[in-house]
Chains A and B, each alone.
Chain A
Amino acid sequence: MSAGTENKMIKTIVFQLLDKEYAIEVDVVQSIEKLLLMTITRIPGVPSYVKGVINLRGMVTPIVDLRTRFDLPVTEYDDNTRIIIVNLENFDAGLIVDDANDVIDIPADALESQPEVVGSVESDFVAGVAKIDKRLLVMLNLDHVLKPIRNGQSDDN
């Protein structure tokens, strides 16, 4: 997400949570899976947004529900619900999102920092926002969204 380089395009995967559109860089995305096809094994003693682990082609992969993570109202998972599997530096994880169906190029200079609003849980997780045509895309900071869990706590703060 190195802003500043002139007219560099950031290729992103865009997904839906409630009424907002979020984006993450396509480079970190390994695959997008249908949630209903997966069996999630619950893990006791972890924050509620960690839904558990799945068997992703032989790898035990933790799954995080982004709605819960962002304190958004929770709904039933349906046929559109997707798990976006991301590869971060040290681990893989899956993000549960309402829908994921778009790939968009965002010009690096279209990315603006998030307007400062106090109190929103989300703000920590946002790397920036971009306005493409009439769509407002929220670029996520995955390192913050996926802070490792230790002894049942996230490493936040």
Chain B
Amino acid sequence: MDTNQYLEMFLEESKEHLQACNEQLLELEKNPDDLSIVNEIFRAAHTLKGMSATMGYEDIANLTHKMENVLDAIRNSKIGVTSEILDVVFESSDALEEMVLDIEGGGTGKKDVGGLVTMLNQIEAGESPTAEIPAAEAAPARTGALVYDDFEQTVITQSIDQGFHAYELDVTLRDDCLLKAARVFMVFEILEKAGEVIKTNPNVEQLENEEFDNRFTVVLITKEDAADIKAKVEKVSELETAEIHHVQLKRAENESAAAVEAPAKEEIPNPPADSAPAEKPVKKADDKAEASSRRSGSSHSANKTIRVNIDRLDVLMNLFEELVIDRGRLQSIAAELQNAELNETTERMTRISGDLQNIILNMRMVPVETVFNRFPKMVRQLARDLDKKINLEIIGAETELDRTVIDEIGDPLVHLIRNALDHGIESPAERLAKGKPEEGTVTLRSYHSGNHVFIELEDDGAGVNRERVLRKAIERGIVSEDAADMLTDKQVAELILSSGFSTAEKLTDVSGRGVGLDVVKSTIESLGGHISIDSKEGEGSLFQVQLPLTLSIISVMLVEMQKEVFAVPLSSIIETAIIHKDDILNAHNQRVIDFRGKIVPLVDLREIFQTGLPDGEEEYKSVVIVRKGENLAALVVDSFIGQQEIVLKSLGNYLQSVFALSGATILGNGQVALIVDCNALIR
């Protein structure tokens, strides 16, 4: 089978399933008794196994299969959840991830999983059949174990009362069975002659569609003898085994509403572990009898979504911009012609395209969850490596950000989290000595505010040690000794973001790789964001990252210089002003103005951009006051055009970096306007 066309889908879905696996494993570690979590993991692993086998990635299939066995043993309460077992499972999922990434990178997805497989086998076998806890709730969703609803239970009890037998027939088809549905049909034909089939697992529709591995269960009500039926059924060819048992009804406790059908359990307390995967997670509506038996957890299937390549969205966006440009032309034509009908149509078009623009932009929004997802596991691993106890809380993972920002923000956050774990949170002993709980808490928070998204990382660790930071900063020549005393605590804390700074007394494996937090700072600033630190010694630190909602649309002030239009990002602008030439002062060959008591240097954009100056000295000058951090500058322009939302475009790879320009945009009239990079103009 040519599987190439499915490769992308396979990769996406595999990653999704692995992510689900990881999340649920972490959950399981917290609630080792919650077997419904094991089911979730099992489901993810099972699907992954199926997909990878279809795609021909045998190592992945092999490893997931073993993982499945272990999980199955767990949910059948054959083995308990211990951190050793989880470690191995985590390791397996890491290996799986590696293989998937390898495939993504064009590799074969092959990897020596022998060691892991052996370990998994050992786990599976080593602590196996204790067979003593087949309690009803202990195995809420053992595959193959049938669950009966009230109606079915009544039918069965009444039939038995009337002298019928109720049997559960487990049929296993041979692995090489070609026409599974046909065999199922043959079995049914025999059974329906003998009595009445009241229930199957998986349901009839799935059986007909061959949506099962090679094992299914049929519940039959008949007057015939069990042995007779077994013998008849076994005549069907390509059939491995047919086992027949009496249905034993066990009234389920904690039977909740229709959504979750309580686990009633009957005979065969412990089937061999490897016979388990008789069920595939089928994400479609079942017939009504079975609909109720779908367990929770398939909730994500409710999201009707479609994957779209981001490139296509870009194309859509570009096409849309052309539409906007034409709209602009249409508007000016309409204004000229003053035709009522044309005006009306143009207005309607303007409104609709405005809505359309919002929709297109929204399509590019992705929840930060996609980035946050990877952190729980990372924190778990780091906490182990560092021998610390850490509880990671994630708040606001649903906050949405533009895809381009999402792609960039991951690494800086990883850095910050490592930093918090390594330098922030103290060792358990230290914490106890300080009267803090042994377990440190790291909170990752995200929320919208105005036109920005905030991501905060808070820890209740040691905080920034003023003395130590200052000492190091002086040592490295980042601040002078005199200046050091003047700094506020916040300023001191933010020193750790300056380049060449590392607060760790000794380099550790975790964060001492020669890159400091300055990298984080510069990455965030390159995204048009801002990072600040609040810290109280002994109580913890708060890193706050402020990011623009989207990188592709920004608000700008359009200014004109000799018929050339430039855009100044509103985020840098403090205000605009018109100044008289007499207000301009000279200081050291640098012209400055007094702006609200502050001396602000004057930068003539017309000189910088060589647009040409007007003839003769103007009486009044239009200036835009911009800032970079604490520093201000007044940019002189010819005139202001107005504020506008623009779509940011890069100048491309040919013009890799141009002084004082950060990009371009296309205006309503189709012309390109350049965007001024105020950061480059100040100091």
Contacts and interface: CB of A to CB of B under 8 A. Distances in A.
A55 interface: yes
A92 B653 CA distance: 8
Contacts of A45: 609-610, 658-661
B610 A55 contact: no
A62 B674 contact: no
Interface residues of B, number: 30
B631 interface: no
A58 B319 contact: yes
A57 B318 contact: yes
B659 A150 contact: no
Contact of B651 (A54, A62, A146): A62
Nearest to A57: B322
A90 B653 contact: yes
A54 B655 contact: no
A130 interface: no
**Residue of B608, B610, B660, B672 with highest tally of chain A CB at under 10 A:** B672
Given A58-B319, A58-B322, A39 B655 contact: no
A42 B609 CA distance: 10
Interface string A127-157: 0000000000000000000101111100000
Given A39-B671, A42-B564, A46-B658, A148 B653 contact: yes
Given A58-B318, A60-B650, A44 B671 contact: no
B610 A60 contact: no
B664 A53 contact: yes
Given A45-B659, A58-B318, A93 B666 contact: no
A44 B608 contact: yes
Contacts of B653: 90-91, 148
Given A53-B651, A91-B652, A151-B659, A43 B674 contact: yes
Contacts of B674: 41, 43, 53
B672 A58 contact: no
Contacts of B238: none
Contacts of A146: 654
B672 A62 contact: no
A85 to B, nearest CB: 12
A143 to B, nearest CB: 12
B673 interface: yes
Contacts of B611: 44
Contacts of A61: 652
22 contacts: A41-B564, A41-B674, A43-B661, A44-B609, A44-B610, A46-B658, A53-B655, A55-B666, A55-B670, A60-B649, A60-B650, A60-B664, A62-B651, A91-B653, A92-B654, A148-B653, A149-B656, A149-B658, A151-B658, A151-B659, A152-B658, A152-B659
A41 B667 CA distance: 11
A146 B652 CA distance: 13
B321 A58 contact: yes
Nearest to B565: A41
B318 A55 contact: no
Interface in B553-577: 564
Interface string A93-127: 10000000000000000000000000000000000
The dominant DSSP class at the B interface is: mixed
Contacts of B652: 60-62, 91-93
A74 interface: no
A151 B657 CA distance: 5
B53 to A, nearest CB: 38
B651 to A, nearest CB: 6
Contacts of B657: 149-151
Interface of A: 39, 41-46, 50, 52-55, 57-62, 90-93, 146, 148-152
A84 to B, nearest CB: 14
A62 B673 CA distance: 13
A62 B322 contact: no
A93 B653 CA distance: 10
A137 B608 CA distance: 41
Contacts of A58: 318-319, 321-322, 666
Contacts of B666: 55, 58, 60
B564 A149 contact: no
Contacts of A92: 652, 654
A131 to B, nearest CB: 32
Nearest to B611: A44
Interface centre among B318, B649, B650, B652 (most CB of A within 10 A): B652
Q: Which of B318, B653, B670 has the most CB of A within 10 A?
A: B653
Interface in B419-469: none
B318 A41 contact: no
Nearest to A45: B659
A59 B564 CA distance: 19
A41 B673 contact: yes
A92 B670 CA distance: 19
Contacts of A46: 655, 658
B658 A41 contact: no
Contact of B671 (A55, A59, A148, A150): A55
A93 B654 CA distance: 7
Specify which of B319, B322, B658 lies most central, judged by the most chain A CB atoms within 10 Å of its CB.
Answer: B658
Top 6 nearest A-B pairs by Cβ distance?
Answer: A58-B318, A91-B653, A44-B609, A41-B672, A90-B653, A91-B654
A122 B325 CA distance: 39
B446 to A, nearest CB: 32
A148 B655 contact: yes
Contact of B655 (A50, A55, A57): A50
A92 to B, nearest CB: 7
B24 to A, nearest CB: 42
A60 to B, nearest CB: 5
A59 B658 contact: no
Given A90-B654, A150-B656, 10 more contacts: A45-B660, A46-B658, A52-B672, A53-B664, A54-B672, A57-B318, A58-B666, A59-B318, A59-B649, A149-B654
Contacts of B673: 41
Given A58-B319, A59-B318, A43 B670 contact: no
Contacts of B318: 57-59
B373 to A, nearest CB: 31
Nearest to B607: A44
A59 B325 CA distance: 13
Contacts of A149: 654-658
Given A53-B672, A55-B666, A58-B666, A43 B654 contact: no
Contact of A62 (B610, B655, B659): B655
Contacts of B656: 148-150
Interface string B579-610: 00000000000000000000000000000111
A42 B670 CA distance: 15
Contacts of B654: 62, 90-93, 146, 148-149
A53 B659 CA distance: 15
A61 B664 CA distance: 10
A128 B649 CA distance: 36
Q: Which of A39, A52, A53, A146 has the most CB of B within 10 A?
A: A53
Interface in B631-649: 649
Nearest to B649: A60
